Structure 1
């Protein structure tokens, strides 16, 4: 018997998919899902964490990181029934470790009566293991958090957290069935999850004379730059955000537009 439900926590509703066998190699393509609003930094950063014996979080310095990559555009959830167990997999944007844990806690509070809340996150660029976390939350070791994390690391999406909420249906799935159910829920949610591109930008100050102000204003409008502020005084100062991989090209263009008189200063990011 399939379950159906309505959630108002994120202002959205969803319905269940067709049930599938834990031994099936084919995941349903007709599963219904929903997408919630963009969460940004979800929840308080000092959110109380529920500790679990097998929760694992790792954080270390980045060696290199891409400046453009895909991230979740908003909260997204899918629901499946596997051998009478109900699985709700929710994915969201996690720009850092604190945001990931805050979202995990919020899902726990949304479904306080669930049997398990297994989770995994990659709080960095796609495929990066610099800031990751996972938890089986009481399921047999290695059957939930690890398969979920593997699916996230191979998704091509960065800064993402996934929580799989399970309501036990009375039938044991076995270690293989559990791994397929948890990883399959993440894969299914990723298939329909809205994405957006994250562009790493650096703050830059542009100081130009009045004869060049119109030319520089047009330049800012033409490029993928974000104008933060402009101050008119003896000279004109523009504060802009420029994609990190375009800094040197932007420096050259500004020098060309101002005939070498413009001042181009890359600000230090804190």
Structure 2
């Protein structure tokens, strides 16, 4: 079978996802080569990160700089995660579609904001695109910081789960098919977003356990009946030696 150079993985992956969203994206995006790092900055997005570098950088980071993560970067990685979800679940029910709720600002401070990422169905010739809807100050940011870690961005991945026997929303049934589907989709969505973030030079950590307390926070702040399933922390890693405290 033909070999693909590791520096071409980004464009090839985008091309593989393009049929669902944008045929025009089969053309590799312009960007510096892996050898050309002049002008690169910690916040710039690289489209040619070698695979082994991404895998080596994929470690849990729980200490972050307070530098914010630009919305353009967040939209890029969430758009990719959404596009991949649609590829994996072309006939998935709308109820279990992952919802990304972002706590922006250093979690644990009074200035943290709760926002929702809302994806838009692409039209012909256009890529998946989304936008952020602000829901005001995040309630109980200290609880999130204590449960996870203070981070510039905490992404709470949720979904609506329905009891198929009664057709009612539930937050206690962990055995139904809707719950299993929602958990699998939320986990895949979170990991896809995390790997995209690592490829862009960000750090993060994932938490695969759902939380009733976080579910109540999201429901109380937004008036929705979604259930929290997965958490992703993102930010620029603090300058900590490899293998030192704060990373695994």
Return the TM-score normalized by structure 1. Answer: 0.28
When Rg is computed on C-alpha atoms for both structures, the one with the higher figure is 1
The answer to which structure has the higher strand fraction is: 1
The answer to which structure has the higher helix fraction is: 2
Return the TM-score normalized by structure 2. Answer: 0.30
